Each structure stands twice: as C-alpha cells, then as structure tokens.
Amino acid sequence: MKTATEIDIRTEGQMARTHYLNVDLGVKSWLLTTDHKRIGILYLWTILIFFVIASVAAAMMRLELLTPQGDLVTNETYNKLFTIHGVLMVWFFLIPSIPAVLGNFAIPMMIGARDVAFPKLNLLSWYIFVAGGALALWSLIHGGVDTGWTFYTPYSTTYANSHVISMAAGVFVAGFSSIITGMNFMTTIHKMRAPGLTWFRLPLFIWSMYATSLILVLATPVLAITLALMSVERFWGVGIFDPKLGGDPVLFQHLFWFYSHPAVYIMILPGMGVISELITCFSRKQIFGYGFVAAASMAIAILGFVVWGHHMFVSSQSVYAGMVFSILSFLVAVPSAIKVFNWTATLHKGSISFQTPMLYALGFIGLFTIGGMTGLFLATLAVDVHVHDSYFVIAHFHYIMVGGMVMAFMGGLHYWWPKITGRLYPEFAGKLAAMITFIGFNLTFFPQFILGYLGMPRRYHAYPPEFQLFNVLSTAGASILGIGYLLPLIYFLWSLKFGRVAGPNPWRATGLEWQTASPPPKHNFEKTPVVTTRPYSYSAQEDADLNLASV
C-alpha cells in the first residue's frame, strides 16, 4: 500500500530535528511557555485530571443505582457525587475540551499563523483555569457540594450545608479563562489569517470555533454575575433569590440558563467543526454545502441565546413565554439538521476509509442525530411537562455532550495526535476503542430514555423497584464505556515512545496544519503559507485511481 519513499520519510530521524517539543526542555519551559501548541497540551493534561475525577463520581453513581435501595453510599454522598460529576464535566472538561486543547493546538496552524494573537494572555488563561480548578478541588476535598451543577436557589443560598461558595468561586474564576480564550481566538481568526485565506476559504473547524468564541465571550459574564449574586445572598444574606428575604428564586433560573443554554452550544459547536474536518478528509471529498454548514454554526450561536426558557416550562414561567421559547427551540434545531444532512451528502461519491477518526465521526453523526431528535421531545411543551427533570433529559443531553462532543473530541484527538506528537497511535487498538465506546455509550444512555418516560426523576439516590431493569442495563453499559475510555489513555501513552513515526501528513489531508512537519517547529511554519484555493480540495476520483494503481 505504501510507496517506498513514504516509508523512508517516516523514520526516527524525523523526530530528532528541532521542533516545539524539544526546542526547550524542563518544567520551567512548559510552565512559562507562550507557544499555543504547548498550552494546548497543558490543557490536555489538566482536563484529563478533571475527567478522571468526574468519571469516578459517575461510576459510583451508576453502581449505587444498580439496586433500588440506597445502599452503597448515603443520600448525602450521592448528592455530592452527581454535583461534582456535573460541575467538573461541564466546566472543567467539556467546555475547555475541544476549544482549549484542540482549538489552541490547531487554530493558529490551520490559518497559517505563528501563534494566537495574544500568546501571553493564552498562558494566563490556562493559569486562571488551573486556579479555578484548584478552588473546585479545594471545595471537593473539604466535603464537596450538594446543590447539583445548576446551583438552584433558594436551596443553594439558604438551605445547603456544603461548600457552595468555594465551588461557585471555582466556576466563577474558570469562567474568565473561557472569556480570555474566546477573545483570543476571535482576534486570531480576524487578524492572523495567512495571505489568501479569505473567510470563505476557512476550514469549517475555524468557523465553528469562531461561533463558539462568540458565545464564550458574550454568555460567560452572565454566569459570573449569577454566581456572584448567589454568593452575595448566601454569604451576606442580601435578598436576591430567596423569597424569605424578598427575592425571586425563578429569577436565578432565568439568569443561570441565559448562560447555560448557550453553554450547551459551547459543548457541541466545536465538535461539529471537528466532524467537518474528519468527514471530508476520510471520504476524500469537498464538504457538501460549505456556506450552509458555516452559516449554520453562526445561526446556532445566535439562536442559542434566545431559547433558555425551555428549561423552565414547569417552573411557573408564564404559559405564553413557554410558547415563545418552545417555537424558538424548534427553530434552533433546523441548522443542526442542515449540518447532519450536509455531512451525509459529503459521503456521496467519496473514497471512504475507516480509520479511527472516521469511526468516531460516523459515531458522532449517529449519536448526535438521536440526541438532536430527542431534543425535539423536550421542546414540545406538553411532552416536556412529563419528561422534564426525568432521566429522559439526562439521556438527551448525554447523547449531545458525550455522544456528540466527547466522540468528536476523541476523533479530533486521534486525527491531530500525529501532528501533536509526531507519532501514530496503533490503528487497530484505536478502532477497537471507538467501537467499544459506541456500544458502551448506547447501552448506558439509551435505557435512560425509557426510564425517563416511565417517570424516574433525575438526582434520585433510591428509586421504586420497577425501574431496576433499565438501571441495571445502564450500569452495565457504563462499565463498557469505561473500557472504551481507558484503552485510548493506555495506547496514547504507549505511542509517545513506541508509536510509528507519522511524517508531516499521514492522512494526506489538505489543511495548512498538515503542510508543516510533525511535530511542527516552534513557530509552526518555516515559511508563511499562501492560500489559493477553497478548503478540502480533495479528489475522491484521484484517490480511487491512486489506490487501484498501488494495489
């Protein structure tokens, strides 16, 4: 399959030349780096820690739910487990996952730049994130929080006896990291594109990261305000949300979801961007409907700001407000549907190969479609009254966030791994892990749709015995899913030393990041690239001919 020259290039000699990983050595060179690629790796290690802690919390919850009685942990511990799982997964894993790791690593290279617009701010953003994370861990070590990741008032302000303020402070601080990173990316995309790289020649990952950055910058401050107000009420007893102090508890929900619904799109738009890169590369096709896919990202980012009330259909919000939020929620589903159809059409007349990143991409389309369609159930007022706050909601958003975003993150990580490290991960193990993840995921979360419609409420430590069957299935699925996540951790580490040398462009991809060496030199390109064509100038016909000739 490989030509002789191709193999020659992929020798250990490639790794010996100077590149961003070996140009400076030592802990100090990493902690003081302003290289966007190194900062991406710092984020990768940091979010890995939080992912592991939050996953352990999830595993303990699933074990507890194996039986209807609350027998493994106390109800108090259980409540802390789902809170820590939610807080860490949302703010310390998912939100920074693709943006801060893959975005940091790839955006400057994909637009032919030497670095982001503000490299020092980029490093500061990581330090702020670490400080926020440290506060969250401090809160966890001192006994944890039991409010749920949503911090609903007046429970969080008046009634909870746990470390609410330190946890909220952790999220508050980490939010500034989001804002700075978002602003940095927007500036970078505006000002640092290579000559010839017009807006409509940008890879779709860049469009989706631009849309994400917009949300990060505009929505995160509202979260900061909300958490600050909550802390002021809790600490000083100033009446804002607790009706006993003259406040309004539903106001908190409006403020919280005004951030947290757009935040849902922070947790899926970057994934959509990655999928556009993967589908085109592994089917050797130009993306179908480039303009529509790019515009859909922007439409999602903008419409995402006006649908927060669909979290509040049974909160005592007015019936008429509910109707407005319902129809807007249906509208925001349209651009997502457009993307799915365009990815499908891209495969037509492609030359499709099924390496690990492509398996994750196809898995993403499947799971995201189900996640998106079940979102319509929740947008439908009468059905939401029944399934709101039930396991149906849990299943839905895990299909989007885990089935969607985490699959895309894994796909992207496998895709850019050779660029990041200069070495290939073992392909067979990669495919195996992708399959295990897909099967384990469905077994974990599909039964939860049924549980939810049956009426099992979320955040229940014990439940009536008739719900046991589907809980057992879900726990069994979670253990398979766990293996699916553990495998990549092992073989990625293995590949750092023993992986085959990748060469500059193992996927024969067209993006600018593949035109430089792997790992790239410190400033990415020896010579600033000039762009003359649209992205994804793949030819399936050529690929098929090439393939036939080499067999």
Partner 1 sequence: MDKFHLFPPEASSTAQQVDWIYFALTALTLLTCAVVFLPIIFFAIKYRRGSAADRSNPRVESILLESGWTIVPLVIFIGLFGWGAIVYFQIESPPRDALQVQVVGKQWMWKLQHAEGRSEINELHVPVGRAVSLTMTSQDVIHSFFVPAFRVKQDVVPGRYTSEWFKPTEAGEYHIFCSQYCGTQHSAMIGRVVVMEPVDYERWLNTGRPAESIALTGERLFRERGCSGCHSVNSKFHAPPLEGVFGKSSPLENGEIVPMDERYVRDSILLPGKEIAKGYQNIMPSYAGQLSEEEIMQLIAYLKSIGNQNPPDESK
Instruction: Please name the helix (run of DSSP H) or strand (run of DSSP E) that holds residue 435, with its range, or none.
Output: helix 427-454
In the range 309-338, which residues lie near partner 1 by CB under 8 A?
A: 313-316, 319, 322-323, 326-327, 330-331, 333-334, 337-338
- Per the DSSP assignment, residues forming a β-bridge with 83 are none
**Segment near partner 1 (CB under 8 A), from 23-31, 100-108, 152-160, 424-432?**
152-160
Note whether 335 and 299 are within 8 A (CB): yes
- Can residue 473 be called a binding residue for partner 1 (CB under 8 A)? no
- Can residue 513 be called a binding residue for partner 1 (CB under 8 A)? no
Closest distance between partner 1 and the C-beta of residue 404, in Å? 14
Separation between Cα atoms, residue 7 and residue 503, nearest integer Å = 9
Figure out which of the listed residues 66, 76, 221, 446 binds partner 1, where binding follows CB under 8 A: 76
State which residue, 187 or 315, has the beta carbon closest to partner 1: 315
In the range 383-422, which residues lie near partner 1 by CB under 8 A?
A: 383-386, 388-390
Separation between Cα atoms, residue 208 and residue 213, nearest integer Å = 9
- Can residue 34 be called a binding residue for partner 1 (CB under 8 A)? no
Q: Which of 305, 128, 100, 136 is nearest to 222 (CA)?
A: 305
Separation between Cα atoms, residue 89 and residue 72, nearest integer Å = 23
State which residue, 213 or 351, has the beta carbon closest to partner 1: 351
Closest distance between partner 1 and the C-beta of residue 414, in Å? 18
Q: Give residue 34's identity as a one-letter amino acid code.
A: T
Figure out which of the listed residues 460, 479, 480, 487 binds partner 1, where binding follows CB under 8 A: 460
DSSP structure string for 483-542: HHHHHHHHHHHHHHHHSPB--S-TT---SGGGGS-SSPPTTS-SS-----S-S----HHH
Closest distance between partner 1 and the C-beta of residue 393, in Å? 10
Figure out which of the listed residues 13, 143, 237, 243 binds partner 1, where binding follows CB under 8 A: 243
Q: Which long-range contacts (CB under 8 A, 24 or more apart) does 56-61 make?
A: 57/81, 57/82, 57/84, 57/85, 57/88, 58/85, 58/478, 59/478, 59/482, 61/85
State which residue, 205 or 392, has the beta carbon closest to partner 1: 392
Closest distance between partner 1 and the C-beta of residue 544, in Å? 6
- Can residue 155 be called a binding residue for partner 1 (CB under 8 A)? yes
Figure out which of the listed residues 30, 118, 138, 292 binds partner 1, where binding follows CB under 8 A: 292
- Can residue 426 be called a binding residue for partner 1 (CB under 8 A)? no
- Residues 347-386 as x/- pattern, contact with partner 1 by CB under 8 A: xxxxxxxx-------x--xx--xx--xx-xx-xxxxxxxx
First-to-last alpha carbon distance for the chain, in angstroms, is 6
- Can residue 462 be called a binding residue for partner 1 (CB under 8 A)? yes
- Can residue 450 be called a binding residue for partner 1 (CB under 8 A)? yes
Note whether 299 and 241 are within 8 A (CB): no
- Can residue 148 be called a binding residue for partner 1 (CB under 8 A)? yes
- Can residue 289 be called a binding residue for partner 1 (CB under 8 A)? yes
